[in-house]
Amino acid sequence: MSKSPSQQMSAALKAVLVPVLNESGFDGRFPRYRRDRAEVLHFISMQYDKAGTSFFLEAAWQPPGDKMTSWGELVPQRDLLLEHAPLENRARLQQVGGLSSQPSDWFSYAGRGDDAAGYRAVAATVVGLLPQVEAWLARGEVGPNLSPYGAMP
């Protein structure tokens, strides 16, 4: 039985992108990664569309420490996820940047069939754009393929 396009894209991201994330200090399990530093926590996650034809990489930061949610739950630092970061500390890396984020802006892998090299090429494109994520996380710089949710760090 052949794998679905989303499964093939995930396999390519695991083979091409995840080792680069690990080299940069991110740890985790697909599709969620985090990097804990003394002064800040960084998060990266891959988010797929419902149709299974495109995805974006979401990045976020937040100060270290436990977090009290708006509904009164205390989340220990070790359990924090990207979703716990405030919207203004989050951005999307996508094929087409800017202030919008429509599925047509995301990394598309539609129509690739069983072309493993094609999926790996999409993953390599994401790797090539990672310096924009690092610049945003470190200095609040918005690169051409980033779509921030709000104010920069």
| pLDDT tens, position by position, 122-143 | 999 999 999 999 999 999 899 9
For 10-39, how does the pLDDT look when each residue is reduced to its tens digit (9 = 90+)? 999 999 999 999 999 999 999 999 999 999
Q: How far is CA 128 from the centre of its chain?
A: 14
Q: Which pLDDT belongs to residue 28? A: 97
**Prediction pTM value:** 0.91
Count Cα neighbours of 102 within 13 Å in the Cβ-side half-sphere: 2
pLDDT at residue 76, rounded to an integer: 97
Q: How far apart are CA 30 and CA 17, in angstroms?
A: 10
C-alpha span between 125 and 115 (Å, rounded)? 16
What pLDDT was estimated at residue 1? 63
Q: Which of the two residues, 74 and 150, has the higher pLDDT score?
A: 74
Cβ neighbors of 115 (< 8 A, separation 6 or more) are none
Phi then psi for residue 62, to 5 deg, are -160, 155
Q: What is the pLDDT of residue 152?
A: 45
DSSP secondary structure letters along 33-77: EEEE-SS-EEEEEEEE-TTSSEEEEEEEEE-SS-EE-TTSPEEPG
Structure-token pair, residue 105: 């802006």
Split at pLDDT 50, 70, 90, the class of 51 is confident
Joined tokens for residue 114 = 């069983």
Bin 72: left if φ > 0, else alpha if -120 < ψ < 50, else beta: left
Bridge partners of 34, per DSSP, are: 27, 43
pLDDT digits (tens, 9 = 90+) for 67-105: 998 889 999 999 999 999 999 999 999 998 776 777 888
